Amino acid sequence: MFNIFNRKKENNKLFYHTDVHCHILPGVDHGSKSVEQSLAMLQAQLNMGIDRVICTSHVTAGTFENTPQSLGDAYQVLKQAVADANLPVELHYSAEYRLDEYFQQERAAEHLIPMPGNYLLLENSFQQELLGLDELFFELRIKRYHIMMAHPERYSYYSRRRQRYEELHRRGVKFQVNILSLAGYFGEGARSNALWLLKNDLVDMLGSDMHDLDHAQVIQDYINSKEWRKKIAPALENRLLNDTLK
Ligand SMILES: [Fe+2]
């Protein structure tokens, strides 16, 4: 007999199909620890409607000093595993570059790996905005890179001066907001910044920033929520750039 209480819960899907920020390459940062975990994370992405994944492992001074070689090797291993497992996912790799001395070194050595569309995913310091940020972005743009700021809502120093968001955006910086932030995973400050960016039409890309399956579950639960379906998705449906990166 039909019983609505036994009905399996439908998993809602995202309205776009490209993730521009995640830590799915195995063994190169504190994201996926193994190829098996990477495949499970990619399956979680597929379940939420993502079939094009740009892997953006950390590149950070002191902790994750990845190189084109280390990231390229991990990508080849995962790409082979994806083919062997017959997962219908298009895989790319780039990086999430922390703006620190290692970034400057890699930039000087011309080791940067942009994502499709020639975007660089750049992460600010969490303590304070880098001195000379505008000049750095200007120099990168001269080199024909497009700037995608990783999770601008998570830098608490912008809460007190949100006009800085508008200024950066006017100068061509694109903003990638984390779904995890909207879901409240990083606390009320990040969530409130994310909602402010949304309200002011300053969200250009969404990202999962998925490091593990727990993150995947938080995201899936959130996109099943009424807030996502009624408020967030309709506001972003016609403006996200995720699927335009080519
Ligand atoms: Fe990240």
Q: Which residues pair with 56 in a beta bridge?
A: 94
Return the percentage of the chain with pLDDT > 70, whole number: 96
> What are 152-165's pLDDT values in tens digits?
999 999 999 999 99
Q: Does residue 211 belong to any structural domain of this protein?
A: yes
Query: How many angstroms does the Cα of residue 21 sit away from the middle of ligand 1?
Result: 6
Give me the number of domains the chain comprises.
1
21-58: b or e for each residue (b if 16 or more CB lie within 10 Å)?
A: bbbbbbbbbebbeebebbbbbbebbbebebebbbbbbb
The alpha-helical segments, DSSP class H, found in 171-208 are 179-182, 188-199
Give 8's pLDDT tier (boundaries 50, 70, 90): low
| Burial tier of 217 (Cβ tally within 10 Å: 0-12, 13-18, 19+) | exposed
> Quick check: is 8 in a domain?
no
Cα-to-centroid distance, 105 and ligand 1 (Å): 20
CATH number of the domain at 113, please: 3.20.20.140
Give 207 Cα–ligand 1 centroid separation in angstroms: 9
Q: Is residue 5 scored above 90 in pLDDT?
A: no
What integer pLDDT is reported at residue 11 of this predicted model? 84
Which domain does 113 fall in, by range? 15-238
State the pLDDT at residue 9: 62
Sorting pLDDT into bands at 50, 70 and 90, what band is 1?
very low
184 falls within a domain: yes
Position 167 in a domain: yes
pLDDT at 4 over 80: no
Residue 203 clears pLDDT 50, i.e. is over it: yes
Compute, in angstroms, the gap from residue 171 CA to the centroid of ligand 1.
23
Sign of CA dihedral 80, 86, 92, 96: negative
Domain assignment present for 245:
no
User: Does a structural domain hold residue 130?
Assistant: yes
The answer to whether 172 and 141 have CB atoms below 8 angstroms apart is: yes
**Residue range 173-202, pLDDT digits in tens:** 999 999 999 999 999 999 999 999 999 999
- For residue 134, the CA-to-ligand 1 centroid distance in Å is 22
Token digits of residue 61:
């001074």
**40 CB-near residues (< 8 Å, 6+ apart):** 213
- Centre of ligand 1 to C-alpha 244, Å, is 20
pLDDT averaged over every residue in the chain = 96
Whether 223 contacts 14, CB under 8 Å: yes
Calculate how far, in angstroms, residue 29's C-alpha sits from the geometric centre of ligand 1. Answer: 10
Give the integer Cα–Cα distance in Å for 200 and 220: 25
Contact in structure between 152 and 209 (CB atoms under 8 Å): no
Of 101, 89, 146, the closest CA to residue 122 belongs to 146
Q: Tens digits of per-residue pLDDT, 75-92?
A: 999 999 999 999 999 999
* Span from the CA of 177 to the centroid of ligand 1 (angstroms): 11
Q: Residue 128's CB: how many other CB atoms inside 10 A?
A: 9
**Is 111 a domain residue?**
yes
Quote the ligand 1 centre to 81 CA distance (angstroms). 23
3 occurs within a structural domain: no
* pLDDT for 7 beyond 70: no
- Name the pTM for this structure: 0.95
